[in-house]
Amino acid sequence: MSATVSADNPPVRRLSDWSDARFGDLADEYDTPLYVIDLERVRENYARLAAAFPDADVHFAAKANTSRAVLETLEVEGASIECASAGETERAFAAGFEGERVHYTAVNPPGIDLDRAVELAADHPGLTVTVGAADTIDRLAERGYDGRLCLRVNPGVGAGHHEKVRTGADAKFGVPYDRAASLLELAADDFDVVGIHAHAGSGISGDDLGNHRELVSRMGELARTIDLDLEFVDVGGGFGVPYHPDDPPLDLESVADATRDALGDLDATLVVEPGRYLVADAGVLLTRVNTVKEAPEATVVGVDAGMTTLVRPALYDSYHHIRSVGADGRAVETTVAGPICESSDTFGTHLLADPTRGDLLAVGNAGAYGYEMASQYNSRPRPAVVVVDGDRTGVAHRRETHADVIATETEVTWE
Ligand code: PLP
């Protein structure tokens, strides 16, 4: 581990902690919109989390950021990984994770995912497949799979920053709690049942610790109830990060204490699977102002990034702090809006210093669910991603072109 918990590793990196000069250079060289991911901050976040949970296995929820450079960094630091699809599982192996450190969580998996997962498990026998329905168990058996299996349980408690990310009590995810024990014991006849899993939702804050505690306690109880030797109990991720500049950082020690307390005595390893906590504040989105419009009801600042670049504000009403890079002058309340022809294509209201066409803006906490959720709606090419590590910079995803946007389109031949 290259970073320790100290003054050099603060619990949060704010947008104001980044270097304006570096932002300016990156935008000049790579153009905008541009994601910037700092690998050193990823290491720091992992080190802090691993130190708070010294007896647990930390699995990075890859869905937050699958850039190869990020995965390789976490692999070297000693993290394990949780993948939400066969595609993510492939990326984990390509980044060097050993099978033992990879969990694939199958949510209503298309057949193609299960086919691939079974092939991958043959090559990497340590791979664990987490299932959330009896049907998925049957479908794995039909494919001849009898390897490591974990059961996703619906704990009946959810947590998180928005109703759309509170998965814990959503029937879509996991088998009902009161059916889990019998299903686990049945599955143990045909598979190597190694663990149980639950995830309350995303964005656990101090206010939501009660729900987290409840989830963990139910999982501990279940593990003690069943007549199986489990290797691990996975209590999910969802550790929140402060998106507002005034929000306090998550008190990781309290979360870790509450988790240990609630789990109780268990002869199985605790697994946590954070996504955003490891990468959110390691990333910033840079975007340029192309339009400044004084409308009667608001000053609108138009930028070259939109909901196709960073969808969280449109999807979850999420707040991402924005500041003007290197600008000073009178702060003006502005609505920052993108180039997509949708009224939800806005990043909200921000105080920006004397907004002027050509200004560079930095959008904070963009390292998690940013590039991952980018789309080509309105035929917009996806942005580029650069990674920085100390003084070094490298391109992790090149900027797409219009040719990329139409690359899969074929001329229809009627039959
Ligand atoms: N684990 C599972 C099963 C999830 O569905 C998610 C997020 O959707 C996570 C972990 C990670 O959540 P977060 O990025 O909020 O930590």
In sequence order, which residues have a C-beta less than 8 Å from that of residue 379 and are 6 or more positions away? 402, 405, 406
pLDDT value for 1 = 37
Are 284 and 35 spatial neighbours (Cβ–Cβ below 8 Å)?
yes
Does the beta carbon of 273 sit less than 6 angstroms from any atom of ligand 1?
yes
The best mutation among 152, 199, 232, 271 to test binding of ligand 1, ranked by most ligand atoms within 8 Å of the C-beta, falls on 199
| Interior angle at CA 283, CA 19 and CA 166, nearest 5 | 145
- Which of these, 302, 355, 388, lies nearest to 13 by C-alpha position? 388
Token reading at 173: 């995810």
What atom of ligand 1 comes closest to residue 165's alpha carbon?
8
List the beta bridge partners of residue 324: 361
275 Cβ inside 6 Å of ligand 1: yes
Of 74, 83, 202, the one to substitute when testing ligand 1's pocket (max ligand atoms within 8 A of C-beta) is: 202
CA of 1 to the centre of ligand 1 (A): 24
- What's the predicted TM-score (pTM) here? 0.96
DSSP E strand boundaries for 69-159: 80-83, 102-106, 128-131, 148-154
Q: How far apart are CA 266 and CA 221, in angstroms?
A: 9
Asked whether 168 lines ligand 1 (CB < 6 A), one says no
In angstroms, the CA 278 to CA 197 distance is 20
For 128-157, the pLDDT digits (tens) are 999 999 999 999 999 999 999 999 999 988
191 CA from centroid of ligand 1 (Å)? 25
User: At 298, phi and psi to the nearest 5?
Assistant: -165, 155
Please give the average per-residue pLDDT across 198-226, as a whole number: 88
- The residue whose C-alpha atom lies closest to atom 9 belonging to ligand 1 is 237
Residue nearest to atom 14 of ligand 1 (CA): 275
Encode pLDDT of 1-39 as tens digits: 333 446 789 999 999 999 999 999 999 999 999 999 999
Which residue CA neighbors atom 10 of ligand 1 most closely?
A: 237
For ligand 1, mutation pick of 63, 172, 276 (most atoms within 8 Å of CB): 63
Provide the total of helices (H) and of strands (E) in the chain, helices listed first: 12, 18
Residue 108 confidence (pLDDT): 96
222-276 pLDDT, tens digit per residue, is 999 999 999 999 999 999 999 999 999 999 999 999 999 999 999 999 999 999 9
Q: Which residues are marked as active site?
A: 341
